[in-house]
Structure 1
Amino acid sequence: MGAGALTICHNKTAVQVKEDMKKMVHIPILRPRTVAAKHIKLFGATLSELKDKGLMEDNVPLVLRKMVEYLRKHALHQEGLFRVNGNVRAVETLKQRLESREEVDLLAESDSCTVASLLKLTRTRPNSILSAYRPKYQVGDDVSSSDMRDILQQLPEVHLSLLRYLCHFLTHVECNHKENRMTALNLATVFGPSVFQ
């Protein structure tokens, strides 16, 4: 084969690669939604909105319960739990699928890093225990344990139930800190801002 023939083959291959890349760029990240009416905002909704829509069980959002149960069963011993981030596209895809009310088998269709990353992003409005008590308390203030107890006793039952559920789960994570490297301090660093800011 001469130099001219190699150039033609090379050019055809380059054109084919470019065409293949164009096709890949146009592939949608998410599967198309079958029924748009089923899309419900789960992440960032208020607890009362979720309760009104029947998306709570024992004052804990069902979606949060599903993620916590998955992590409790399959990831408590995983080193880097809550430290190693899941793929951004996978996290967003999982979020959208859950909000589309698709049946998602987390064990078969996801991984613990993706689920843990989505759980870290989970917030409800208002996203802070102390936000209801400003300007008395500001970020960075030292709050005594008796002040914190008083604040917690004033929380609506739905917020207190959610906080109990989350703290109970994080206690299980911390009990396995020798394997997962998530001490109480590490967990406070990860979850503290979303709970207390």
Structure 2
Amino acid sequence: MIFFTDKHIALVGLPGSGKSTIGRQLARRWSLPFIDADAVIEQRLGSSIRDFFAQHGEESFRDVEQQVIAGLLGDKRQMVIATGGGAVLRPANRAELGAHAFVVYLSAAPEEIAKRLHGDTQRPLLQVHNPMQRLLDLHAQRGPLYEEVAGLVVNEAGRPAVQVAQNVLQQLERLQKQSEADGARHANKEN
């Protein structure tokens, strides 16, 4: 049985926290479609996010991102969605995630992400003089927002993606069994 069959599974977290990698593994496990929101955005833009940022700025990007997130979450087919790191910045996105998805926050230490993303040139917000400081700032700004929307927080603590995905799967399956047991107890009380 697929976890929370009426909702999507959405992954949130800092850039480089493993949302796409782990999302693909979750989707494979449950035979669900996997959608990387950033890839859908790039397809819609006809350019890379980095180039769009450079030409139009972050606010214009966030407008497109909001449209894409609403479209994905409005799809009736259940899927696993990896959101962009800043998707939670807009209240409308947080509301959509809360209404249409079970959200998993992949919590990763900024120091760990900095090691993983060393030399990355694709993430526009990290193309700064001090990427480590930028990650610390993003974590301070976004961490509370990730926690606000999350139904499950998984701290990856530098573990390989396969182990993190397995941990997420186990926790989701445990939550599903608990939800089913609670539903059965509720049904028995009514009878």
TM bracket (short chain): 0.3 to 0.5
Of Structure 1 and Structure 2, which has the larger fraction of its residues in strand? 2
Q: TM-score, normalised by structure 1?
A: 0.31
Q: TM-score, normalised by structure 2?
A: 0.32
Larger of the two Rg values belongs to structure:
1
